[in-house]
Structure 1
Amino acid sequence: MAVPPELLSCAAKFESWIKDECLPLWAERGIDKVSGGHYEQLGADGLPDLTAHNRVRVQARQIFSYAYAYSKGWLPTGADMANELLHFVISHALHPTARQGFSHLMDARFNVVDAKQDLYDHAFIFLAYSAIYRATANKDVLDAATQLLSYWDEHFGSIVGGWHEGDYDAPHRRQNPHMHLFEAFMSLYECSSDVRWLARASEIFALFQVHFFDSKRGVVLEYFNHNWQPHAGEFGTQIEPGHMMEWVWLLRWYQRLSGHDVSRYTQPLYVKALELGFYGQSKLMFDFVYIDSDANVTLHSGTKRCWPTTELIKAHIAQARAGNLQAEKLAAQSIEQLFTYFVSAETVGGYCDQRGENNEITNANIAASTLYHLIVACGEVLQYCNDMRS
C-alpha cells in the first residue's frame, strides 16, 4: 500500500532531525561528566541547567531513550550510554532503606533529597529495563525487572486493582502511572516473549475498561479515590487529551500482542481527544481541559506542551494501521506542527517545552523528559512507513 508522499517526507525530516541534531545535542551536553548523572533540562541556549533538581524518573526515561536510539541505529553509543546511566541510577538513587526500588528526586549535584518511592517513577524503570534488554540481550535486567515487580506487588499492590502511589500518603490515585506500566509491561513482553509480562499488561487493561475509561463521555479520567472511584471536585473533571491519544496508541499495541479487539475504546477516544484537545479551533493540543457531566468544556490556562503533539502523531499512526487512511495525512500535518511550533531555532537539536493560549512560548527550556516522547513518535512513524512499503 502506498504511503502518502507528504508523510514519507515528514518521516524523513523527523528521522534526520532526531538522528543528526537532537540526539547529538543530548549526547554532548546531557550528562554530567563528573557524576555520570543526566541533567533534568537544558536552557534555550542548549546549555545544561545546573540549578534544577533531577528526577529519577527522567534518568530512567533517558536510559530508555538512548537504548531505543541504539536499537534504531540512530546512536551507535546509545547502548553504552544507557548502561552507564543505569549504573549511575543504581549507584546514586537506590532507596536508602528498602530492599528494592529507587528514590524520587536528586538535587542539582545529584544527591538524593527526596527518597520516597513513587509508582510513576518506577514505571519508567521497568521501561528502561526493557529497552536495555532489547539493545543488549542482557538477561540481568530482566531478572531485575522481575524482582522489582515482586517488591511492588508485596508492598504496594492494591486489593482493588493496580498499585498504590508509593510509600507516602497520596491524596488520590492516578491513571497515568498505570498507563506507563501498561506500556512497560508490553515492552517487556515484546522483547522477552515471557507471557507473564503480557498477563500483567492485561491486568491494567482491565483497570482501563472498568475504571479509567468513561464510556458516557468518551474520555480517560485522570484522578481517583483509593477505591478507584472518580475523584470528587476539580481533579475529577480534569481531562488530558494527550493521555487519551497515548491510550489510543497503547491499546492498538495491546491488540496486536493479545488479539483483543479494542476498537470500541480507540475510536471514541480518538474522536473525543481531537474535539477536546483542539477546542475552539486551537492550532495545538491543549495540556488539559475541564469537562462537566455532559462533557461541556472549560479552559483554564490554555497551555500546550510539546509532548501531547507527539502522542497525537502516535495516535494518528495507530489509527492509520487500523484502516483510517485519513489519519496518515493528519500524522503528516501534526509532524509539521511539531516542527513549526516546538523545534527550536535557537539551538540545533533543541525544542521548546510549552506554548501558551496564544501560542506564545511560555517555557523555552529543553526538557529531557520530552526526548522519550519525541523518539518513540519518530520510531512509530518510520515503522509504519516501512511496513506499508514492504
Structure 2
Amino acid sequence: MDIFSQAGELADWLADAALPLWRQKGVDETGGGFVETIDMQGQPTRANRRSRVQPRQVYCFAEAGRRGWRGDWRTVSEGGLAYFDRVYRQPNGFYGALADADGRLLDPAFDLYNQAFALLAFAYLAEVFPERKAEMIARSDDLRRKLESYCKHPVAGFEEDNPPRLPLGSNPHMHLFEACLASEAIEGFDRIAWANLADEIAHLAMERFIDPKTGALREFFDHDWMPFSGEKGRILEPGHQFEWAWLLLRWAERRGNAEAIIKARRLFEIGETHGICRKRDVAMMTLFDDFSVADAVARVWPQTEWLKAAIRFAALSEGAERQRYVASAARAAAALERFLETPIRGLWRDKQQADGAFIEEPAPASSFYHIVCAIYELEDCLKRMRA
C-alpha cells in the first residue's frame, strides 16, 4: 500500500471511529474531564487520571475541530480545560500531577511536563475560540513567567522543581519546545518571548541533550547538563530521537538553521538504524548509548513519532532522498496501523512485547495526542509534496 492510501485509511479511522468513540466514551459526562483509559470492550475505566491527559485531549479535539471534524469538539475542548483547572490547578498557578476518577486530587506535585501541556492547550484553544483568545494569551504569558520565576535553570532551560531535583530531563523540554513553536505562530501571542524561549531550548538540545560524539539525544542529566551518572544517564529512546528530529526540523525551517537540520538527520538515522526491531519492523522503547537494546517492548507512540519525522523529512527533500524518506514513512504508518487493529475500531494497543504479542490492557488516552498529531502531519506533508 502506498503512503497516500495509508494516509487516507488513517484519516478515515480518526474521523469516523476514534474521535467519535473518544467523544462518547472518553469523556466523563457526570464528573467532567477525560477518562484515563478505555478498555478493549469500549468501556471507560475508573483508573486514576494523570493531569497531562486533560490538556492533551483538549488539543486533540480542538485540532480536530480546527480541521473540520463535525463532531462535538467544542463542548469537550472547553469542558476539558474547565475540569483541568478545577481539579489540578494549584494556588500558585501550576498544575498538580494526579487525581482519582471522582476528581479528587491525589498528587499536587509540580512537574514541568504537565505545565508544558497546559501551554500547548492554551495555544490551540486560542486558535479555535477567538472569543477566548485574549484569555488564552494572558494565561499563557502568566504561566510562562511563573515557570521562569520558579524553576529557571541558571544556564539554560528549566529545573524539575524548586528546590531542584535530579536528574534533569530532556523530555519536559521537548514538550515545552513544542508549546513554544505553537505559541509563537499565533497572532496576538508574545512572539518575541515565545521565539526566544524556543531558540533557547533548541540550542540547549543541540549543545547538551545531543551527544557531540554520537549525535544521539540522551534523556537524563546532572545539574550541569552533563549525562547523569550510571545506567540512567546512558538511556536513549528511539521515539524521542524521532520526536526531537521532527521538532528541530520545524524550528530549523522557521529560522533557516542548517545545523539543526544536520543534527535532526542524525537523530533520525539513529532512530531508524538502531531503534527499529528488524523482525517486527516497529520502533522499540529504549536503547543504551552504545545503541544496544535496553528494552525491546514497542509502544504505540514511538511509531507515530517515526511517521512524523519521516514524512517531514520527505516533504523537505527531493528525488531519491525523498523516496527513501517516503518508504520509511510507509513502514512507520504500517507499524502504527498494527497497533490500531483492535476489537472495537477507534482504540489502540499500547505495548507490543518482543515476541510480537500485544499486551492485553485498556487503551491509554494519553496516546491520542501522538496519533492525532501524526495523522494530521502526514496529511499536511503529503499536501506539500503534491503542491
Q: Residue 168 of structure 2 aligns with which residue? A: 173
Give distance in 2, aligned partners of 1:218 and 1:270.
10
What secondary structure, in the 3-state scheme, does the structure 2 residue paired with 1:334 have? helix
Aligned residue among 285, 291, 302 for 2:296: 302
Q: Residue 137 of structure 2 aligns with which residue? A: 142
Q: CA deviation at 1:168?
A: 6.4
Amino acid at match of 1:335: A
Between stretches 198-207 and 272-281, larger displacement belongs to 272-281
Amino acid at match of 2:29: K
What secondary structure, in the 3-state scheme, does the structure 1 residue paired with 2:172 have? helix
CA contact (8 A) 1:31 1:39 kept: yes
Give distance in 1, aligned partners of 2:163 and 2:365.
26
Give distance in 2, aligned partners of 1:124 and 1:34.
24
Change (3 A) 1:103 1:16: same
Q: Deviations over 1:149-186 (max 9, x none)?
A: 11111111111211111246633110000011000000
Give distance in 1, aligned partners of 2:208 and 2:14.
37
Give distance in 2, aligned partners of 1:303 and 1:268.
23
Q: Residue 245 of structure 1 aligns with which residue? A: 242
Structure 2 residue runs of 5 or longer lacking an equivalent are none
What secondary structure, in the 3-state scheme, does the structure 2 residue paired with 1:185 have? helix
Structure 1 outlier segments of 4+, above 4 Å: 279-282
Q: Deviations over 1:23-60 (max 9, x none)?
A: 1110000111111121111112121111x110111111
Q: Residue 97 of structure 2 aligns with which residue? A: 104
Structure 1 residue runs of 5 or longer lacking an equivalent are none
Matching of residue 330 in structure 1 with residue 328 in structure 2? yes
Q: Residue 186 of structure 1 aligns with which residue? A: 181
Give distance in 1, aligned partners of 2:163 and 2:301.
28
Matching of residue 124 in structure 1 with residue 117 in structure 2? yes
Output the TM-score relative to the length of structure 1.
0.93
CA contact (8 A) 1:118 1:167 kept: no
Alignment of 1:237-386 (within 5 A): 237-261=234-258, 262-279=260-277, 281-291=279-289, 295-297=290-292, 299-323=293-317, 324-325=321-322, 326-339=324-337, 341-386=338-383
Change (3 A) 1:133 1:235: same
What secondary structure, in the 3-state scheme, does the structure 1 residue paired with 2:175 have? helix
Amino acid at match of 1:9: S
Q: CA deviation at 1:301?
A: 3.7
Change (3 A) 1:175 1:74: same
What secondary structure, in the 3-state scheme, does the structure 2 residue paired with 1:362 have? coil
CA contact (8 A) 1:66 1:75 kept: no
Amino acid at match of 1:58: V
CA contact (8 A) 2:242 2:309 kept: yes
RMSD of the TM alignment (CA)?
A: 1.6
What secondary structure, in the 3-state scheme, does the structure 1 residue paired with 2:308 have? helix
CA contact (8 A) 1:93 1:102 kept: yes
CA contact (8 A) 2:275 2:284 kept: yes
Alignment of 1:29-108 (within 5 A): 29-50=25-46, 52-95=47-90, 97-98=91-92, 100-108=93-101
Q: Deviations over 1:331-383 (max 9, x none)?
A: 122212211x2013311211111110111112532110000000100001111
Amino acid at match of 1:172: P
Q: CA deviation at 1:328?
A: 1.3
Amino acid at match of 1:23: L
Amino acid at match of 1:302: A
Aligned residue among 4, 8, 27 for 1:8: 4
Q: CA deviation at 1:384?
A: 1.3
Q: CA deviation at 1:263?
A: 2.1
Count of residue pairs the alignment pairs up: 378
Change (3 A) 1:40 1:329: same
Change (3 A) 1:218 1:282: farther
What secondary structure, in the 3-state scheme, does the structure 2 residue paired with 1:271 have? helix
CA contact (8 A) 1:116 1:166 kept: no
Give distance in 1, aligned partners of 2:94 and 2:291.
42
Identity of aligned residues (%): 27
CA contact (8 A) 1:22 1:348 kept: yes
Between stretches 145-154 and 249-258, larger displacement belongs to 249-258
Change (3 A) 1:363 1:232: farther
Give distance in 1, aligned partners of 2:107 and 2:163.
11
Q: Residue 28 of structure 1 aligns with which residue? A: 24
Between stretches 163-172 and 194-203, larger displacement belongs to 163-172
Q: CA deviation at 1:117?
A: 1.3
CA contact (8 A) 2:27 2:76 kept: no
